[in-house]
Structure 1
Amino acid sequence: MARGAAGVGKSTVVVLDNGAGFCKAGIGGEADPSLVMPNCMARPRSAKKWVFGDQISEVQDIQGISIRRAMDRGYLINPDTEKEIWDRIFKTHLKIRPSECSLLLVEPLFSIPAIQKSTDEIIFEEFGFQSLYVGNAPALTHNYHAECAPESFLAKSNCSLVVDAGFSFTHAAPVFDGFVVNHAAKRMNLGGKALTNYLKELVSYRAWNMMDETYIMEDVKEKLCFCSLDISTDLDIARRRGRSNYYQCDYILPDGIKYKRGFVKDPDAAAAYISKRQRLDSEVEEGVQEVISREAEAPREELRTIGKAGIPTKADQQVLTLTNERFLVPEMLFHPADLGMNEAGLAECIVRAVKACHPSLYPVLYSNVLLTGGSTLFHGFKERLETELRPLVPDEFQVSVQSVDNPLLAAWKGGSLLAASQEFQKAAVTKKEYEECGSMRCRRRFML
């Protein structure tokens, strides 16, 4: 599909990736979305009025802020809230008239007919769009990656196994000839929301009660969590005391007075594990051990009060200290059974998806595992998945895991390419067709 310029008036195509965590919206043909905003409404503890996701950054006191989402577990459960959010996106941010535009909507796989019907009613009857095309994230991500790397094996074979780890769920979906092989796609009911909830439980048990601080804990998760490459070794390190435990770091909680937002106390110290993994030189390791020994000799009280200019200390601020929580939270995706969840791990989920396809596709799918979705942004995710997947795959097959350039926006960018192509006009359902045939008959065209 060739990249083209978006038209105006009746030829304008709005591309909306309606994720449970974030809405990504813009005009078809453009390189990037015009807007990325949380797909929710929020109400501060001290206010009676609900605000939209893009207004949360303006809220003065985010402690105890209530979050109301239109989607749960990947399904639309509150059409009225979603309609309000879309209305703000279309009229306030994109400044378009829906009756003069077409819509390309990115929906999750396996949406049930009742929800599809409700969605179509909002699009055609409430907003009055001229036409609609519904796509899914795995297929659009595959097409976008193939367009960006036309000489790659993925593009030449036109086949991949897309791992879409989002806010509500994780899909392992084989894509062949640009379309998802629906019968082979596998779903894990684990995503960014479950990881945030698990992090809330861990820190609430050990430190502050953060069960009502979803917004703050999402920020903690995104800034501090990472995937372990050797869980037993990392647990050993996390048990150490003092500076030799380089996984320990502090997050300064907002107090509603001096600090309106939380932040990592020492970003360099929080990212120390990255350099530790990369330092294989013995001389560097000797230097690190010398520094660690010297710091370990410092008095405890001195370490508690030493701080950089402008950085609060533990003595007078609310400090959330994290250690093994940083890598135990993403561990849910790889071994959910260890936490008592009746779910297969991500690597096993991928193997099951591949085995549901024709055997001739096995080598191609294992060689083209493509990552997308916000939950794949944890540092070390790609390497950890390769480590988990390799023992489960026969030796004669090569395993190659790769990520798109921007996992959070890849599906939207794939939709933008499609919206600017001639295929969109051929495949889209017009408002007239919807009124004549109804939602279910029109939806068959999208092969979802």
Structure 2
Amino acid sequence: MASIAIAQTQQAQATTSAPSAAAAAAPAMQLEPTSVIVLDSGGGSIKAGWAHDSQPTIMGNCITRPRSARRTFVGNELDQWGDLSGLYYGYPTQKGFIVNWELQNKIWDHVLSSSVLEVNNFAETSLVLTEPLFNFPAIQSAMREVAFEEHGFQSLLHTTAPELSAYQQRVDSPSAQEAQVVVDSGFSSTYVVPFVQGQMLPSCATRIDVGGKVLTNYLKDVLSYRQINLMEETHVVNEMKEKACYVATDLQHELEKAKQRPSSNTISVDYVLPDYTTIMKGFVRAPVARTGPANMSSDEQLVKLNNERFSVPELLFHPSDVGIKQTGIPELIGLVVESLEEAAQYYAYQNVVLTGGNARFSGFQARM
């Protein structure tokens, strides 16, 4: 593919002009950026900010309760707590769709409060709120009720994250106006969404049920079976995944390297687990087999990562490895583009946007 743009998060700069992403939002184009809030409410995290902010505030779209605490934390309140072992997570969404409105409202209230965005005058503030593709009308209706009746926002635009990412690429690249494809690989799933002449084509869009949650759970399963029980350490394993895993551009070559002796294996690393006393964050380092025991503390607890580093993200390309009978991302892009009119296919291949948390994996863009 000749041109691939990376939009690793829907940042505030990408959504400053986001109301233009839908024709229904034309009146919002007259608003001052200082009066517009962008709330990208995903299955795993929330990216929130004023439209004029250079960067969004990012936090979990969840409540958490540490094993060592008797209280729950909303979103980024967890940052106040030191011991993050054995976290219990409560998510308001399932497969990206809101299923627990009481919990979702609690999280949104926190985001809009003085703790985060500090909205003082809802009547003079407009809201851009993302929703999942193929959202249910009942959920959309509830979104409007929350925005207008509970908070009293001046206006509301609910749109999708792929629309916002596609809009930003059209601003940056004129050829994207002809056709483009957005690959949004997030917490709950991965969507491949085509656009022609700036218009999303939902009938040609598709999704696979593999996202960051599946990858983290798979890594927990593998490590708990092979080394140490980490089934209750979702937070620790998720950080491990983000710091140590990558997408193999040549899978067979990486497998061969992973089979080499420990002293010469360049794939293998040690991951030092946090103990939340002296080590607050887990970290990757070269294995003792290459550096010698002098570099290891007797108090450290290690997990050895070898082919797990690339076999976990490989699920995005081969979902069948864990029994999900769906097509991998590159093939899915091909199927979506081939469903477009022939005149649009060239431009669609030229303008592929990669977005969502999984696009941050090293090697993800090259593998496309």
What range is the shorter-chain TM-score in?
0.7 to 0.9
Structure 1 regions of 5+ residues with no counterpart?
271-294, 386-448
Secondary structure at the counterpart of residue 259 of structure 1:
coil
User: Quick check: 1:43 aligned with 2:65?
Assistant: yes
Matching residue of 2:118: 95
Preserved contact between residue 186 and residue 358 of structure 2 (Cα < 8 Å): yes
User: Quick check: 1:207 aligned with 2:227?
Assistant: yes
Distance of aligned partners of 1:2 and 1:120 in 2 relative to their CA distance in 1, 3 Å threshold: closer
User: Quick check: 1:18 aligned with 2:41?
Assistant: yes
Report the structure number with the largest CA radius of gyration: 1
Of 318, 336, 340 in structure 1, the residue corresponding to residue 323 of structure 2 is: 340
* Cα distance, 1:217 vs structure 2: 0.8
Q: Which 4+ runs in 1 deviate beyond 3 A?
A: 1-8
The residue identity in structure 2 corresponding to 1:325 is E
Matching residue of 1:140: 164
Distance of aligned partners of 1:355 and 1:236 in 2 relative to their CA distance in 1, 3 Å threshold: same
Matching residue of 1:364: 347
User: Quick check: 1:374 aligned with 2:362?
Assistant: no
Instruction: Summarize deviations over 1:367-409 as a string: whole Å, max 9, x none.
Output: 2121111111111111112xxxxxxxxxxxxxxxxxxxxxxxx
Matching residue of 2:254: 234
User: Quick check: 1:183 aligned with 2:203?
Assistant: yes
Secondary structure at the counterpart of residue 164 of structure 1:
strand
Matching residue of 1:172: 192
In structure 2, what is the Cα distance between the partners aligned to 1:78 and 1:86?
12
* Cα distance, 1:256 vs structure 2: 3.3
User: Quick check: 1:247 aligned with 2:267?
Assistant: yes
The residue identity in structure 2 corresponding to 1:16 is L
Identity %: 38
Matching residue of 1:107: 131
In structure 2, what is the Cα distance between the partners aligned to 1:243 and 1:78?
51
The residue identity in structure 2 corresponding to 1:110 is F
Secondary structure at the counterpart of residue 16 of structure 1:
strand
Of 102, 121, 134 in structure 2, the residue corresponding to residue 80 of structure 1 is: 102
Distance of aligned partners of 1:53 and 1:2 in 2 relative to their CA distance in 1, 3 Å threshold: closer
Preserved contact between residue 83 and residue 276 of structure 2 (Cα < 8 Å): yes
Preserved contact between residue 138 and residue 175 of structure 1 (Cα < 8 Å): no
Matches within 5 A, 1:25-424: 25-33=48-56, 35-92=57-114, 93-96=116-119, 97-150=121-174, 153-154=175-176, 157-264=177-284, 266=285, 269=286, 304-307=292-295, 312-313=296-297, 315-385=298-368
Matching residue of 2:8: none
In structure 2, what is the Cα distance between the partners aligned to 1:125 and 1:258?
48
Preserved contact between residue 74 and residue 108 of structure 1 (Cα < 8 Å): yes
Preserved contact between residue 16 and residue 51 of structure 2 (Cα < 8 Å): no
In structure 2, what is the Cα distance between the partners aligned to 1:317 and 1:204?
18
Instruction: Summarize deviations over 1:102-148 as a string: whole Å, max 9, x none.
Output: 11111121111222222222222221212111111112111112223
Preserved contact between residue 16 and residue 52 of structure 2 (Cα < 8 Å): no
In structure 2, what is the Cα distance between the partners aligned to 1:303 and 1:148?
46
Give TM-score, length-normalised by structure 2. 0.87
In structure 2, what is the Cα distance between the partners aligned to 1:132 and 1:192?
29
The residue identity in structure 1 corresponding to 2:138 is A
* Cα distance, 1:161 vs structure 2: 0.8
In structure 1, what is the Cα distance between the partners aligned to 2:276 and 2:346?
55
Tell which deviates more after alignment, 39-48 or 116-125.
Answer: 116-125
Number of residues paired by the alignment? 341
Q: CA RMSD in A?
A: 2.3
In structure 2, what is the Cα distance between the partners aligned to 1:254 and 1:28?
36
More helix by share: 1
* Cα distance, 1:262 vs structure 2: 1.9
* Cα distance, 1:5 vs structure 2: 11
Structure 2 regions of 5+ residues with no counterpart?
1-14, 18-28
